[in-house]
Amino acid sequence: MPQHLSALEQIIESEYGGGFESQTLSFSTGTASLEVVPNNPNCVETVIVNTGAYDIFVSPVSPASAASGIFLHANGGSLALTVRDDLTLAGHEWYAVSPDGASSLFVVRVSRYQAPE
């Protein structure tokens, strides 16, 4: 019996080729920079959302800091990276810091697990 793809799977496969999977991650951040998203050269999209009560700074270079990071406002600030718009940044490792106190991040990554035939 042939495998039936959902509409979403068909669109993603036609746009990027191959099979894809989504991964969600949650992290607590603090005053020390930490890696929140590992390097993944098969990643085509990364979305990072600050779900915490304090501002967060993220960076593809360690350490993340208020002086050199990308600002994510408390309670919903976000960063969306796609291979089409941001080239390799979607697959880079990302670091986060929240200088004012403990906060939290929600991350969604979409990665190719099967190359087109």
Classify each residue of 44-75 as buried b or exposed e, where b means 16 or more C-beta atoms within 10 Å of its C-beta: bbbbbbbbbebbbbbbbeeebeeeebeebeee
pLDDT value of residue 4: 76
CATH no. of 25-114: 2.60.120.10
Domain-by-domain residue ranges, the chain?
25-114
Q: Give CA torsion, residues 82, 88, 89, 95, to 10 deg.
A: 130
Q: How does pLDDT run across 50-91, given as a tens digit for each residue?
A: 999 999 999 999 999 999 999 999 999 999 999 889 999 999
Token pair belonging to 115: 């190359």
Overall average pLDDT of the 3-17 stretch: 78
The structure tokens 């036609």 sit at 14
Overall average pLDDT of the 93-116 stretch: 90
